[in-house]
Amino acid sequence: MKSGGFGRFQTTLALVFLTTATAHFSFNHMAQVFILIVPENYWCPTAASESDAVSLRAATNFSEVDDYTWNGSVIASRQTCRLELGIGAVDINGTTTEQCPEGWHYEYGDLYATMSTEYDWVCGDSWKQYVLHTTFWIGSMAGYVTSGFLADRFGRRVAIGCLSAVSALSNLMPLFIVQHWGLAVARLIAGMGAESVCSTIFVLVIEFTIPERRTLIGFVWAFSWTIMASSYPWYADLIQSWRGLVLTNSALSVAILVILWFVPESPSWHLTAGRREEAVRTLTKIATVNGRHEITEDDFKTLQIKTAEASQSQQQKKSFWKDTFALVATPRLRRNTLVLFAGWFLICLCYNANTLELSHLGLNVYGTYSTAIAFELPVNLFTIMALDRLGRRWPNVAFMFIGGTISLVMALLRTDSSAATLAMAVITIVCYAGGYNITYQLASEIFPTEIRGRGVLIKRLFGDIGSCLGADVAYLVEYDRYLPLLVMGVLSLLSALLLFFVPDTVHEPLPQTIED
């Protein structure tokens, strides 16, 4: 039922509600980097002896200056974030090794104090950063399951409202918690609402939109994500406070709750729930906003047909496990499912690991992230405009192959050129973004209609598992700056090989049943 087609109501919903939701997602996503980032240079202020102190401040970058001498003898050297202090500063064989006793000092430059620097999560405690990255993505997985349950059982508005409220509160928790385990729990809960709120709002907006304009909604989503995510580093530079960043996330959650007050429930959900009268009232209000002051008998007939279809669908709905095992019911479907899930898992792993790795390339953090993400916009336009001509398979394989090759080149060359490093970093994240976009679309085209929702849900879970492990791959930078790039390169090439075996869906009708 069109209720005025794509009118004032749908336009406002897309430009206000959807863009706010995208801001919520992009800011929560990028905050994971900018509330935990650590400057390149930090040191432990100590002395070799009371009489002959060694000024380590003069040699901030331990990666460049490894040894410090006095009268020809080495009295301090850097070994995996520790200083070995010679006894009396003369006999290097009689040394003791200890953790930094006075706390670490950081050369911030353009950066600011973050959770990691405030609580000294560096060197031996650097794993604590990556625990927070991992718990965030575990929360994201839990958010998908929770939002799906709430949205189907109680409606889209209830799911959005509950998860937005949880997100608002969880982003405030780090302001009052100092224990690492408490902060990990806070980030886990924040992850539940980070992407699931945006995804549910996207579904709600799509359900209010006529089929002819749904591609436009997808473009608004992708375009606003790129603009906001690429602007975020400069916002972080402006406020210079990790507390300000989590407060911003909380404020965006509150903004969604305020807007939600004026947004009606999806008529489609009302129909599937058997609440026809409420669906009619909602559509009548939308028609009025769009300047269409009456609803014709044809509209009511369409509504009745949809109600009957929805009721039939509800009667035929299978159990959770039957729907899940249906994904591997036939040999062809089993192959497609396993290959697609494995490819998606690797893409998400590489994308998240690469996002975290950008802060360890020795470049300006703000410019690197902003430039790399800004170049995702051409990729978004490409996937919208060119995939129907070129198909899905070859662009997908090409993106992941090129991304993997560039990662391996960066890992093996170990270039000191800032320009070359930035160029390769941009190409890599653009390629991973391209593979992400294409594979995301493939999931909604390759599964039969009767199990499509379950297939997309489980695909998302596999993606979040990949994102969790991406944090572990990024942690390898603590051993060698280029080791994560080497791992990402190999895994990206493996994903390219897997995606080659995913059938191309271009110009193919969507499968309706498992038999199709």
Provide DSSP, 10-27: HHHIIIIIIHHHHHHHHH
- Determine contact, residues 307/272, Cβ cutoff 8 Å: no
- 77-81-87 Cα angle (round to 5): 40
The DSSP element (H or E) to which 68 belongs, if any, is strand 67-70
Q: What is the DSSP letter of 492?
A: H
Tokens 């939002």, residue?
Answer: 147
Q: What is the DSSP letter of 161?
A: H
Return the pLDDT at 298: 58
Structure tokens that stand for 450 in this block: 């009767």
Architecture of domain 318-516: Up-down Bundle (1.20)
* Contacts for 212-217: CB closer than 8 Å, 24+ residues apart: 212/6, 213/6, 213/10, 215/384, 216/6, 216/14, 217/14, 217/18
**Measured between alpha carbons, how far is 438 from 84 in angstroms, rounded to an integer?**
51
**Measured between alpha carbons, how far is 415 from 426 in angstroms, rounded to an integer?**
15
Burial status of residue 46 (CB atoms within 10 A of its CB: 0-12, 13-18, 19 or more): middle
Half-sphere exposure of 203 (CA within 13 A, CB side): 21
Select the CATH number that applies to the domain covering 1-39+110-263 from these four: 2.40.50.140, 1.20.1260.10, 1.10.10.10, 1.20.1250.20: 1.20.1250.20
Residues in the chain with pLDDT values less than 70:
1-5, 46-99, 101, 211-212, 215, 292-321, 323, 449-450, 452-453, 507-516
**Measured between alpha carbons, how far is 242 from 235 in angstroms, rounded to an integer?**
11
The DSSP element (H or E) to which 118 belongs, if any, is helix 115-118
Q: Which of 478, 505, 24 is nearest to 249 (CA)?
A: 24
- Determine contact, residues 249/24, Cβ cutoff 8 Å: yes
Return the pLDDT at 449: 64
Q: What is the DSSP letter of 212?
A: G
Structure tokens that stand for 87 in this block: 């006894």
Paired residues of 84 in beta bridges: 77, 97
83: which residues sit within 8 A by CB, 6+ positions away? 44, 46, 56, 76, 77, 100
How far, in Å, are 54, 69, 218, 258 from residue 58 at the CA level? 9, 13, 53, 53
For CATH 1.20.1250.20, list the domain ranges present in the chain.
1-39+110-263, 318-516
Structure tokens that stand for 267 in this block: 């008529």
Return the pLDDT at 68: 42
Structure tokens that stand for 317 in this block: 């709905």
Return the pLDDT at 345: 95
Residues 79-99: tens digit of each pLDDT = 346 554 444 433 334 444 456
**Measured between alpha carbons, how far is 350 from 463 in angstroms, rounded to an integer?**
10
Per DSSP, which regions of 199-282 are E strands? none
**Measured between alpha carbons, how far is 468 from 473 in angstroms, rounded to an integer?**
9
Return the pLDDT at 341: 92
Q: Which of 505, 227, 509 is nearest to 387 (CA)?
A: 505
Helix 242-260 vs helix 196-207: crossing angle, to nearest 10: 30
Residues 222-250: tens digit of each pLDDT = 788 889 999 999 999 999 999 999 999 99
